[in-house]
Amino acid sequence: MRIALYQPDQAGNVGTILRLAACLGVPVDIVEPCGFPWGDRALKRAGMDYAEIANVTRHESWDAFEAQATGRVVLLTTKGDVPLPEARFRPDDILLLGSESAGAPPEVHERAALRIRLPQVPGTRSLNLAVAAGIALGEALRQTEGWPKP
């Protein structure tokens, strides 16, 4: 199981996701460019010292990421056709989230083997990126029995 972030805009969200990933032993892929400098204070503040121990791979482009991706790409998107409770995860899935401001472009949607949406009440647009990542990762780890062992 991996988390991938496509051109993230918000350093604080990335830092929070790095902390989540470090605590759960899940690698993170960052598809650049990011909307902030990598050493941004918000990234460090949100990730705390966990960001330093997170297993992070930075890719200079979508093509570079695709060349290295070995698992099934599962896109979390408000335009997803599969609600999270109906999704079936595999241990080698890559949970991909688009940028906070623009989401994922059409070529990324086309590459995804599965497009998942998190159910929400009518009238709401989307969850915070880090919150969505945590919800989806928790369900994926539950299904694949991938939670860390004490």
- Express each pLDDT in 93-113 by its tens digit: 999 999 999 999 999 999 999
pTM: 0.94
- Is residue 116 in some structural domain? yes
Averaged pLDDT of the chain: 93
Full residue range of the structural domain in which residue 115 is found? 2-144
Q: What is the pLDDT of residue 133?
A: 98
CB-based contact 7:34 (threshold 8 Å): yes
**Single-letter amino acid code for the residue at 6:** Y
**Hunting for tokens 């241990």 — which residue is that?**
91
- Is residue 123 in some structural domain? yes
- Count of structural domains, the chain: 1
Q: What is the pLDDT of residue 40?
A: 59
- Is residue 21 in some structural domain? yes
- Is residue 55 in some structural domain? yes
- Is residue 149 in some structural domain? no
- Is residue 150 in some structural domain? no
With vertex at residue 127, the alpha carbon angle to CA 55 and CA 91, rounded to the nearest 5 degrees, is 40
Give the 3-state secondary structure percentages of the chain, helix then strand then coil, rounded to 5: 40, 20, 45
Q: pLDDT at residue 47 above 70?
A: no
Which CATH number belongs to the domain containing residue 132 in this structure? 3.40.1280.10
Task: With cut-offs at 50, 70 and 90, classify the pLDDT of residue 150.
Answer: confident
- Is residue 130 in some structural domain? yes
- Is residue 42 in some structural domain? yes
Give bridge partners of residue 114 from the DSSP assignment.
74
